[in-house]
Amino acid sequence: MNKRLTVLLAALIFLLTVIILMPMGNAVSATQTDSFTDVPADAFYYDAVNWAVEQNITQGMGSGQFQPNATCNRAQVVTFLWRLAGKPAAAGENIFADVETGSWYAEAVLWAVEQNITDGMGAGQFQPDGTCNRAQIVTFLWRYAGKPAANAENPFADVEEGSWYADAVAWAVENGITTGLSQTSFGPNEPCNRAQVVTFLYRYAAETPEPPVTEPPETEPTEPDWGIGGEDF
């Protein structure tokens, strides 16, 4: 009788342990996946956004919003890349009249210049509030990767051979970072929204060693919703 009672008690303890531990294991996932009310579970960028939060690349735009369709500006894109790199210190001087020292993106811009990811828009301007289009984001990412050569052929009618972004687009296609807006269109001049930017970064990171996790950033300043609809197919 005592032996039977001991077995039943042990089984009960085991079941209680499983019940207690299961919610704990899912709590992390729930916190990540429920971070934003505007990121549905069936969205093409769902995993990318959760990954970006885990890596402290973004914490959203505040009030439980990620704003996936809001267009990314140049300051936000280089800041995302800088955080992906682990927020390395920049030693160079600020060469841009429109990048205020101490601003939330200043160090990211200095780092991007040091790494030859960008040299601005000319005339001593970086244009931090300028819209980042699809050609620019894949070029930034290609330069961040070290300008690797690509063997893929250009499948897009709107990517002119020899253009400043052609090699970057070919590399991005070859590495599964993008397949364009259609089979024949990349949309280089289309504004790149926040969902697309973090998806590009997520796909790139999937092919490279995991970057170091840094402390959570402050939420990015709110930008007007100039986003374009549609998935990056």
In tens digits, what is the pLDDT along the chain, a chain of 233 residues? 556 655 555 555 544 444 444 333 323 233 344 579 999 999 999 999 999 999 999 988 888 999 999 999 999 999 999 999 999 999 888 999 999 999 999 999 999 999 999 989 999 999 999 999 999 999 999 999 999 999 888 899 999 999 999 999 999 999 999 999 999 999 999 999 999 999 999 999 987 644 443 344 444 443 332 222 333 32
List helix spans (H) across the chain: 2-33, 46-54, 74-84, 106-114, 134-144, 166-174, 194-205
3-state secondary structure of 133: strand
Please say whether the beta carbons of 233 and 99 come within 8 A.
Answer: no
Query: Cα separation of 38 and 158, whole Å?
Result: 32
Q: For 51-102, what is each residue's pLDDT tens digit?
A: 999 999 998 888 899 999 999 999 999 999 999 999 999 988 899 999 999 9
Amino acid sitting at position 50: N
At 103 the pLDDT is: 94
Query: Cα separation of 164 and 185, whole Å?
Result: 17
Query: Cα separation of 196 and 71, whole Å?
Result: 9
At 216 the pLDDT is: 41
- Entry pTM: 0.73
Q: Output phi, psi for 202, to 5 deg.
A: -65, -45
- Bridge partners of 131? 73
Q: Is 172 left (phi over 0), alpha (psi -120 to 50) or beta?
A: alpha
Q: Is 210 exposed, middle or buried (0-12, 13-18, 19+ CB in 10 A)?
A: exposed
The pair of structure tokens assigned to 183 is 């089979």
Query: Cα separation of 27 and 17, whole Å?
Result: 16
